[in-house]
Chain A
């Protein structure tokens, strides 16, 4: 008995006539969507509170602690403030794009809830193309950024919009390719199928510990880095740089419309963590999740919150990269390494070997690729350090009056 069976049983117990079964079905879907959307919008308040608390602790502060227990209601008060603020619309902005962009930004993020498996059978719609659906949703966020940047009729907003699109498109490629690794391993794109495949049977008991991170650590690492860039989190938040620069493509927004973009960003980093959990960290699988269905959602949410706290930890400790470094990292490091990983995995999986031996070879290939990439990067940065020191030494400049390498500007 899993969650979907329980729902079907409940629908049957309602005793509605056969002719009205489509109505019961439709109402069930509607209520499910309503619960998911409302819960995640409320969740955003909690996420902002977690971010503030974690970052305060990292910076040796206490953080919000006045309103409610542990300052839990501080975000509620902030939301009330934003709601009551005047909604300023720039005079020469484009009405349609300016008004729709914040809605689209949140919509694109919320729609990913439909295919996230919270438990055995507890999924909005188990599409056969679930992973591809998640990838396609990213394009809605890109359109929202473009519309906001252009609709504000502000050249800084437009430039920032272009930069957002460039970043999102560049990091989409390594992210999608890294998501392909577990899909290749299982041979399905359904999110529930991927979660089911991450079980580990010890005799008849499902330990639920066959997580793909144990087989594909390299793909997981690349996915997490690309997901940080996709959700515009540190170290890739240079488009926004909320602490010192203007806010990027939503500079002209105020009040609740501004808050919508923030909401989309927080929810996006949470959902990208949820996708990481369902693809690599076992989804709802865990010890005894097969026997006690209630444990599934608990495991899933616990893992997702853990990933979210790690993202905030990174936010509190990492410096920000420059725009050229960001682009070079995506195209020169992430894309080649993930392509190598996939190629190695494809070749290994075609070998006529037992499943467990294949998995070990894939794991070895992952580790080799990660080690080689880290070595190459380390050597590069060592040379770069020497070079940049030499370039700024006064003695070396006196004779030549030019940097050691002509291309040292990038």
Chain B
């Protein structure tokens, strides 16, 4: 390909632009979770934040965890939260504000947590850009092998826990005749 006749000014790369858009979505969604007047709108904000997190994973070339994030958090957990909100509060009648007098304290704690997390993450030696990325197929295969070899006991225990929860839910919800 031919050379440009003039040097280009330093432009943001495509992935930086995409990351910024996703980050804005995640931050706005998270703000909606805490600031919305209506509890169901908070749940919708949570969905947007989950999508933002999945987008960040995908920009970081971690497709599997990004897609799993959507599958588990948007598909299952958000639906569960939406159901719980609709069935427990008087949601059909007007707005229900989840805010109370502790907002100030909560804001201070949030800022402190953010500062601590930032300080912690800055100290970690992250792998730098430009390092070779492992093929997605190999990552998934490795994950599968790890589940049934090294981590088989935790894996089976988790499965048992889910099974017990499932059976328990059926027993609790069963129609007693």
Select which of B1, B38, B44, B140 is within 8 A of A129 by beta carbon: B140
A155 to B141, CA, bound (A): 47
**Total count of chain B residues near the partner, CB < 8 A:** 35
Contact B4 A17 (CB under 8 A): yes
Select which of B14, B67, B83 is within 8 A of A136 by beta carbon: B67
Contact A128 B140 (CB under 8 A): yes
Contact A18 B1 (CB under 8 A): yes
A19 to B13, CA, bound (A): 11
Contacts of A139 in B (CB 8 A): 70-71, 74-76, 78-79
Contact A15 B2 (CB under 8 A): yes
Q: Residue-by-residue, is B81-118 near A (CB-CB < 8 Å gives 1, otherwise 0)?
A: 01100100001100000000000000000000000000
Select which of B47, B70, B135 is within 8 A of A128 by beta carbon: B135
Select which of B41, B76, B82, B92 is within 8 A of A155 by beta carbon: B92
By secondary structure, the A interface counts as helix
Q: A136-B75, A143-B47, A150-B40 are in contact. Are A17 and B3 (CB under 8 A)?
A: yes
Contact A158 B44 (CB under 8 A): no
Chain B proximity of A190: nearest CB distance (Å)? 7
Contacts of A187 in B (CB 8 A): 141
Q: A142-B79, A143-B47, A147-B44 are in contact. Are A22 and B13 (CB under 8 A)?
A: yes
A contact residues, range: 35 or more
Q: Which residue of A lies closest to B61 (CB)?
A: A128
Q: Which residue of B lies closest to A176 (CB)?
A: B71
By secondary structure, the B interface counts as helix
Chain B proximity of A182: nearest CB distance (Å)? 16
> A21 on the interface (CB 8 Å rule)?
yes
A147 to B40, CA, bound (A): 9
Q: Which residue of B lies closest to A410 (CB)?
A: B175
Q: Residue-by-residue, is B28-62 near A (CB-CB < 8 Å gives 1, otherwise 0)?
A: 00000000001011001001000000000000000
Contact A132 B68 (CB under 8 A): yes
Q: A94-B38, A129-B140, A150-B40 are in contact. Are A18 and B3 (CB under 8 A)?
A: yes
Contacts of A189 in B (CB 8 A): 140
Chain A proximity of B77: nearest CB distance (Å)? 10
Contacts of B75 in A (CB 8 A): 136, 138-139, 142
**20 extra A-B contacts, CB within 8 A, seeds A18-B3, A187-B141:** A15-B2, A16-B1, A17-B4, A22-B13, A94-B40, A96-B44, A97-B40, A128-B135, A128-B140, A129-B64, A129-B136, A136-B67, A136-B71, A139-B71, A139-B78, A143-B79, A143-B82, A146-B82, A147-B44, A158-B92
Chain A residues close to B by CB (< 8 Å): 12, 15-22, 25-26, 94, 96-97, 127-129, 132-133, 135-140, 142-143, 146-147, 150, 153, 155, 158, 162, 165, 169, 187-190, 406-407
Provide 22 A-B residue pairs closer than 8 Å at the C-beta atoms, listed in order of the A residue. Answer: A17-B1, A17-B3, A17-B4, A20-B4, A25-B14, A94-B38, A97-B40, A127-B136, A128-B64, A128-B135, A129-B63, A129-B140, A136-B71, A137-B70, A139-B75, A142-B79, A143-B74, A143-B78, A150-B82, A150-B91, A153-B92, A165-B83
